[in-house]
Amino acid sequence: MNLPLSADRLWADLMAMAAIGGTPKGGCNRQTLTDLDGQGRALLTEWCAAIGLTPGLDRLGNMTFTRPGRDPSKKPVAIGSHLDTQPTGGKYDGVLGVLTGLEVLRAVHEAGIETEAPLMLINWTNEEGARFSPPMMGSGAAMGFFEEAATLAQADHEGLRFGDELTRIGWAGGDDPAALQNLGAYFEVHIEQGPVLEREGLSIGVVTHALAQAWFDVTVTGDDAHGGSAMAGRRDAMMGAAELVLAVERIALTTLAPSGEPGRGTVGRLTVTPDSRNVVPSKIWFSVDFRHSDEAALAAMGEALRAEALAVGARRRVAAEVDTFWLCPMTPFDPALVGHVRDAARRLAIPHKEMPTAIGHDAVYVARRLPATMIFVPCHGGISHNEAESITQDWAEAGLRVLADAVLAAAKVA
């Protein structure tokens, strides 16, 4: 079908949204439930109102915009992602998925096309987890994996509550988040956040499944001591933590799937107590993020970390505790929707490959309840969660055209 899709209009929208929270290095800082997030939401609402979409807003701040289908009994075919960013984020992570969906709906509106099923655009709240943890709160709670009350009560590092901040910026709605479990299908376009597509000269990733993930909190406790005290006899929490941080890398590289693929391990945050230059730290807390294509291997990584903590604790006379913070199983995407994406890329003669995602997305939580899939486009150098994140307009257009084709195949044209 010859839709009036406009890559130029999509690119202009991306640049306009990026100006809200734009950083001097060309990235974006539009963290969830900040005033800037509120401004981004208002701009999206303005764009959607211009094509007559019906807005919805639930108690978690998840935003929906719906275009009716010919058959109101059919469940909506949704397109979504998120507008919130990391503190030093880029212009495209999440935002590309929302705005490609908007452009598909604009083109359908301009062509006067009627689909059998309704079409819906979704902006999920707090995908990034930068300010409120864990990530994907809006989609996770809507799909029933987090309790709504606990999500609203979650505090950021300054003690500000999710629900209070949502109300403060004016985006607390009255709709039931669980209503989003009534979708017929869900599509999400996203930058790959990895180097594979660019390296192989491909424009589309047909995403088949999401890798399993496990997050841990590690706390190492010793004793304060003067920086001038003798090294012998110290119960130095920092040195114990340093061994465990290095163990994270070693465990990830040596825990292999049956295929021989290693895992992935990241220490992203670390806090020091008492955080003084000339005091031996008494307490270190740090985060661990493990990911693997094999769930048994992922479980083995967690057990290996706990074993390392026991050994380091005994050797250095410190207490080293490993607590599970969050788990996400390996999640397959819906074969029929994956097929729509694959068929669209073939019909449009766009170079593509099937691949997993090693990164959590709203689509992963949705896929645990409903038919869902993802479409990847390349990003330069695989760089993301970084102000240097960049893509080409041609890559964005490839994602847009494959998305439009796949969505209309799922929603069916009346």
Task: Name the residue among 84, 78, 146 with its Cα closest to residue 115.
Answer: 78
- Whether residue 17 is predicted with pLDDT greater than 70 in this model: the reply is yes
Q: In which residue ranges of the chain is CATH 3.40.630.10 found?
A: 7-211+330-411
Q: In which residue ranges of the chain is CATH 3.30.70.360 found?
A: 212-328
Pairing of strands 119-123, 185-191: unpaired
Secondary-structure class of domain 7-211+330-411 per CATH: alpha beta
Residue 328 confidence (pLDDT): 84
CA 177/CA 82 separation, integer angstroms: 16
- Whether residue 358 is predicted with pLDDT greater than 90 in this model: the reply is no
- Tens-place pLDDT, residues 126-174: 999 999 988 999 999 999 999 999 999 999 999 999 999 999 999 999 9
Confidence band for 360, pLDDT divided at 50, 70 and 90: confident
Residue 1 confidence (pLDDT): 65
Determine contact, residues 377/342, Cβ cutoff 8 Å.
Answer: no
Q: What is the mean pLDDT of the chain?
A: 97
- Tens-place pLDDT, residues 48-98: 999 999 999 999 999 999 999 999 999 999 999 999 999 999 999 999 999
Average pLDDT estimate for 105-117 = 97
- Tens-place pLDDT, residues 175-222: 999 999 999 999 999 999 999 999 999 999 999 999 899 999 999 999
Residue 69 confidence (pLDDT): 97
Confidence band for 359, pLDDT divided at 50, 70 and 90: confident
DSSP H or E run through 352 = strand 352-357
Q: How many residues would you count in the chain?
A: 414
CA 71/CA 65 separation, integer angstroms: 17
Cα dihedral sign for 20, 361, 123, 34? Answer: negative
The CATH architecture one would assign to domain 212-328 is 2-Layer Sandwich (3.30)
Residue 326 confidence (pLDDT): 85
Bridge partner list, 133: none
